[in-house]
Structure 1
Amino acid sequence: MTINNFRVDQEGLNRFFGPLESKIMNILWDGNESSIKEVQLILEKEKPINFNTVMTVMNRLVDKNILTKRLEGRTSLFKPLTTKEDFINNQSKKLTENLLDEFGGLVVNHMLDSLKEVDDNLLIKLEQKLEQLKRDRK
């Protein structure tokens, strides 16, 4: 599953999905397999939304290989293909690889520059990763 549009000017899941897609994905990641009507009812707690709109977006997420869909009687049930954590991990990995392929060391320099305000535990993990990379190269 590859997301082709990354929105730099957005935050969280909105970097990968449209606003309604993000809300739907969060609902499905927070719960179990759900029908369109169940998702619509949760979304309507925030503001009214048309059933057909929810159905269209959920079916597009199936087409994008983000959700699976199965029939139970006359009801379609949807669930994510991966966990939220796996999705974010996979997408951030692909994004990082693409940036490195295109811009090389410049990306690494910018990443290191942005580490000035990070947690010490992250720095420790980074040092461990670098040491492991050095050992693996020998």
Structure 2
Amino acid sequence: MKPIGYRMQEEGINRFFGSLESRIMELMWASEGWMHVKQLRDQLQEEHNYSVNTLMTVLNRLGEKGIIEKQAGGRGRNKQAQFRAAVSKDVFINQQTRSVTEGLIKDFGEVIVSHMIDVMEEVDPELLRKVQQKLQDAIKRKDHEIEK
């Protein structure tokens, strides 16, 4: 899956999606299966009265981005599209945050690494220990590759 936009001013999954896209994806990830647009509309009805056309537009955009999969079901007048998440939420977040991290490191290298460490120290000191262990493991792997 290719990287999608990243919204710095948002929080959580909304950094990658608009508000309706986020809500749809949360429902899809929670369902872990195929869903009809009307099922989505019924679940979203509590929050907002979205039309089927509005939801189909958003679903088609998510499909174009490769975030959801679509399949046609039924025949004739009963034909309905079904949708599901292309990957789990964990896989999606892993792919997208890796892409953002790679871009930041490629473009800003040492500066971004320094900022990341500073922020980790402020937000979660335990994370520094995990980073230290990961760095030591990476150095050992590189040293082992050089020895070969």
TM-score by length of 2: 0.88
Partner SS, residue 104 of structure 1 = helix
What residue number does 1:92 align with?
97
Alpha-carbon distance in structure 1 between the residues aligned to 2:26 and 2:4: 19
Partner SS, residue 82 of structure 2 = strand
Alpha-carbon distance in structure 2 between the residues aligned to 1:137 and 1:48: 55
What residue number does 2:124 align with?
118
> Which deviations, in whole Å up to 9, do the C-alpha atoms of 1:71-126 show, x marking residues without a partner?
11011110011000000000000100000000010000000000123052x33321
Alpha-carbon distance in structure 1 between the residues aligned to 2:92 and 2:4: 14
Shift in alpha-carbon separation, 1:19–1:8, aligned structure 2, 3 A: same
Counterpart amino acid of 1:59?
N
Which sits farther off after the overlay, 103-112 or 43-52?
43-52
Q: Percent identity?
A: 37
Alpha-carbon distance in structure 2 between the residues aligned to 1:80 and 1:99: 27
Give the number of aligned pairs. 137
Q: Give the conservation status (yes or no) of the 8 Å contact 1:3–1:16.
A: no
Alpha-carbon distance in structure 2 between the residues aligned to 1:18 and 1:45: 18
Bigger Rg over Cα: 2
Partner SS, residue 47 of structure 2 = coil
Pairwise CA RMSD of aligned residues?
1.1
Residue 137 of structure 1: how far off its partner (Å): 2.3
TM-score by length of 1: 0.94
What residue number does 2:62 align with?
61
Alpha-carbon distance in structure 2 between the residues aligned to 1:38 and 1:3: 28
What residue number does 2:146 align with?
none
What residue number does 1:83 align with?
88
Alpha-carbon distance in structure 1 between the residues aligned to 2:106 and 2:24: 32
What residue number does 1:102 align with?
107
1:134 aligns with 2:114: no
Counterpart amino acid of 2:13?
L
> Which deviations, in whole Å up to 9, do the C-alpha atoms of 1:14-54 show, x marking residues without a partner?
11111111110001000021000000111111121111100
